[in-house]
Amino acid sequence: MALLEVHDITSGYGELQILWGIDFAMEQGQLTTLVGSNGAGKTTLLRTIVGQLKPWQGKVFFQGQDVSRLPPYTKAEMGLIMAPEGRQLFTDMSVLENLEMGATPRRARPRQAQNIERVFALFPRLKERMHQRAGTMSGGEQQMLAVARGIMSEPVILIVDEMSLGLAPVLALDLFQALRRLRKEGYTILLVEQNVRMALKVSDYAYVLAKGKVDRSGPSRQVENDQEVRRAYLGI
């Protein structure tokens, strides 16, 4: 069984069904990406995986265990960590305090100090700003902090939602490279992106979501060269 498996999930908000039977799997050590246009259901799928939404039908398996109905904090404790869309930092707290909050899961606490050094090495900007209030930083720095806070939790899977949204291309590129580096260090990452081109470039395996269903999936190289995908998402 794969590290994370989603079986035939349907989900949505109130009366509004967004996901129409999604099957999805992620392997250890890979950078998997989930791409698709706005409203395709990417964020809804993530929210169902981490437990902010309960699936209407279907199941989520994490490390072989059925976690479909567990609340987000229990899943975080197990190592399913999300750096949420729009960053969602603790804006009134300092950068350092945000990182400490990342180290909440019991697995992550003993190595809190080492992990802080590690994320400061990955994002030196955060070290310069460590006593600054998170809400007063630039968008790019806040996004770095969101990813860094996720790393602090010692994720078994790190889910990064809409990382490049609203960022200048140069900053976005830095962040994609940081993810690439994390992947080399052995992290398992799920990247959800509206920047399809970059997402396919840095990932190993890709799922294309459309209208609440998996439209295509396969190794990223292969998806990148798919005529349909090129026309629909890459404008070629």
Partner 1 sequence: MLDMLLPSIVDGLLIGVVYGLVAMGLTLIFGIMNVINLAHGPIIALGMFGVYLLFTNTGVNPYLGLLIVAGGGLIFGVIMYFVAVHRVLNAPHLASLLSTFAVNMIIIGAGTVVFSTNFRNVDFSLGAVTFGPVTTTGARVAAAVVALLVTAALYLFLRRTRLGKNIRAVANNRKSAELMGIPSSRVLAISFGIGAMLAAVSGGLLATIQPFTILSGGVYELKSFVIVVLGGLGNPVGALAGGLILGLIEGIVPVFMKTTWVPVLEFALFVLILLVRPQGLFGARQ
Looking at 104, 132, 217, 222, which residue binds partner 1 (CB under 8 A)?
A: 104
SS3 content of the chain, % helix, strand, coil (to 5): 40, 25, 30
Beta strand pairing status for 80-83 and 65-66? unpaired
Nearest distance from C-beta of residue 49 to partner 1, angstroms = 11
Tally of CB atoms within 10 A around 142: 20
Is residue 105 part of the contact set for partner 1 (CB under 8 A)? yes
Residues 6+ apart with CB under 8 A from 204: 30, 31, 32, 183, 219, 220
Report which residue type is found at 198. Answer: M
Nearest distance from C-beta of residue 44 to partner 1, angstroms = 15
Report which residue type is found at 55. Answer: P
Please count the CA atoms within 13 angstroms of the CA of 60 that sit on its side-chain side.
23
Residues in contact with partner 1, total (CB under 8 A)? 24
- Phi then psi for 137, rounded to 5 degrees? -90, 165
Is residue 149 part of the contact set for partner 1 (CB under 8 A)? yes
Query: Cα separation of 5 and 105, whole Å?
Result: 22
Choose between 75 and 206: whose C-beta lies nearer to partner 1: 75
Choose between 12 and 72: whose C-beta lies nearer to partner 1: 72
Convert residues 73-92 into a mask of x (bound to partner 1 by CB under 8 A) and - (unbound): x--xx---xx-x---xxxxx
Nearest distance from C-beta of residue 139 to partner 1, angstroms = 17
Choose between 93 and 210: whose C-beta lies nearer to partner 1: 93
Query: Cα separation of 53 and 58, whole Å?
Result: 13
Q: Are 177 and 62 in contact (CB under 8 A)?
A: no
Nearest distance from C-beta of residue 43 to partner 1, angstroms = 13
Choose between 187 and 205: whose C-beta lies nearer to partner 1: 187
Looking at 12, 58, 72, 218, which residue binds partner 1 (CB under 8 A)?
A: 72
Is residue 52 part of the contact set for partner 1 (CB under 8 A)? yes
Nearest distance from C-beta of residue 148 to partner 1, angstroms = 12
Looking at 12, 17, 63, 101, which residue binds partner 1 (CB under 8 A)?
A: 101
Q: For the chain, how many helices (H) and strands (E)?
A: 10, 10
Nearest distance from C-beta of residue 98 to partner 1, angstroms = 8
Token pair 């439209």 is found at 215
Query: Cα separation of 91 and 98, whole Å?
Result: 8
Nearest distance from C-beta of residue 77 to partner 1, angstroms = 5
Kindly report the length of the chain: 236
Q: Where on the chain is the footprint of partner 1 (CB under 8 A)?
A: 50, 52, 71-73, 76-77, 81-82, 84, 88-93, 97, 100-102, 104-105, 149, 153
